[in-house]
């Protein structure tokens, strides 16, 4: 009887070990094997920053399609489309990037140096914190390139 009990305990251990290994085995295929390319806005030109901003603006989770164009005197044109298209322009040089949140939606806004809050332009709306951080970084670096669109040493 002791031998039967020992065998059933051993069988139980083997079964539990095998059961515990299933989730680990399932994860082998679930993780990417290559690193995702990281963007470094500090090393990007105005054109690359604008392209990255446009790529962010067409993400499906946003609900609207956001487009950006850079005009003379570092004026950013922002177009938002969700049926109708609304366009606004804001001078980037000296503008402050702010975030305003309401009901789980963050509005990333540019407040121009001249005009203040009354002339603020919403440049993106998102529910994702990562979109907010990426947009703030891209806009901050885009504004920093005003007056010097080419990177030093580039």
pLDDT at 11: 64
pTM, two decimal places:
0.71
39-54 pLDDT tens trace: 788 888 989 999 999 9
Residue 18 belongs to some domain of the structure: no
Average pLDDT over residues 117-146: 93
The domain of 111 spans 42-144
pLDDT at 125 over 70: yes
Q: Which residues lie closer than 8 Å to 54 by C-beta, 6 or more apart?
A: 66, 67, 68
Whether 99 shows a pLDDT value over 90: the answer reads yes
Question: Is 3 within the bounds of a domain?
Answer: no
Per residue in 55-87, pLDDT (tens digit) is 999 999 898 999 999 998 899 999 999 777 789
| CATH number (domain holding residue 68) | 2.30.29
Structural domain count, the chain: 1
Look-up of token digits 């051993």: 10
pLDDT of residue 103: 92
């Amino acid at each position: 009887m002791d031998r039967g009990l020992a065998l059933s305990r051993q069988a139980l251990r083997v079964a539990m070990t095998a059961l515990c290994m299933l989730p680990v085995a399932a994860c082998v295929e679930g993780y990417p094997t290559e690193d995702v390319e990281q963007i470094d806005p500090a090393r990007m030109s105005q054109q690359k920053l604008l392209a990255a901003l446009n790529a962010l603006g067409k993400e499906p989770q946003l609900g609207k399609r956001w487009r950006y164009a850079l005009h003379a005197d570092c004026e950013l044109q922002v177009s938002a489309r969700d049926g109708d298209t609304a366009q606004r322009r804001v001078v980037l040089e000296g503008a402050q990037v702010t975030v305003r949140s309401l009901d789980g939606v963050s509005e990333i806004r540019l407040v121009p140096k001249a005009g203040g809050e009354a002339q603020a332009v919403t440049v993106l709306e998102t529910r994702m914190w990562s979109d907010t951080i990426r947009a703030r970084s891209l806009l901050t670096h885009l504004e920093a390139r005003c007056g010097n669109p080419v990177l030093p040493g580039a």
